[in-house]
Amino acid sequence: MRVSSNSLELELNEAIVELRRTDFLLANFDLQALFVESVGKYYSEDVALLLQDKLTEGKLASFRRMADAVDPIHTLLEMGMASIDKFRLTSTYLSRQGEHTADWELVLGGTYSTRVPIRWRTNRVWKEGIVVAEFIRSLP
């Protein structure tokens, strides 16, 4: 039985949520390696990522860009200046063309924080059970 891309989208989103449970205080923490290990199986080796108006092609290069984009948050977490109060999926939408839109909300707490939610929006295109393209409109 073939698993639907909607089910896979939910599974990928859960894997992303699980990333927040990682102990960020471990020495030599490698975000890119964590991405590959945690969510790599959901992405094509040739995935196209559009992030901050720049196109990146290939899984490793795309994950490197994603890791670089979230590195400031990682630094705050690692230094103990922030904690993740809330990280949740707020809505999803499946188009007729098989494109999924996922809205996320991230709220950081801690000594640096204004407690203003950081939000981003991601569109993923699935083909034959893997993400072949992802468009991240904004990311903290």
SS3 89: strand
Rounded to an integer, the average pLDDT of 40-55 is: 92
pLDDT digits (tens, 9 = 90+) for 83-108: 777 777 777 777 777 677 767 777 77
- Looking at per-residue pLDDT, the higher value among 57 and 27 belongs to 57
Q: Which residue has the higher pLDDT, 104 or 41?
A: 41
DSSP for 4-67, please give it.
Answer: PHHHHHHHHHHHHHHGGGS-TTSTT--HHHHHHHHHGGGEEEEEEEEETTEEEESHHHHHHHHH
Q: The domain spanning residue 74 has which CATH number?
A: 3.10.450.50
Q: Between the ranges 13-22, 82-91, 128-137, where is the mean pLDDT highest? A: 128-137
> What mean pLDDT, rounded, does the chain reach?
76
pLDDT at 30 over 80: no
Q: Which of 22-36, 55-69, 71-85, 109-123 shows the lowest mean pLDDT across its residues?
A: 22-36
> What is the span of the domain harbouring residue 67?
5-136
- How many domains does the chain divide into? 1
Q: Give yes or no for residue 13 having a pLDDT over 80.
A: no
* Gyration radius of the chain's alpha carbons: 15
pLDDT in tens, 49-69: 998 889 999 999 998 888 888
pLDDT reported for residue 138:
64
Residue 22 pLDDT level (bands cut at 50, 70, 90)? low
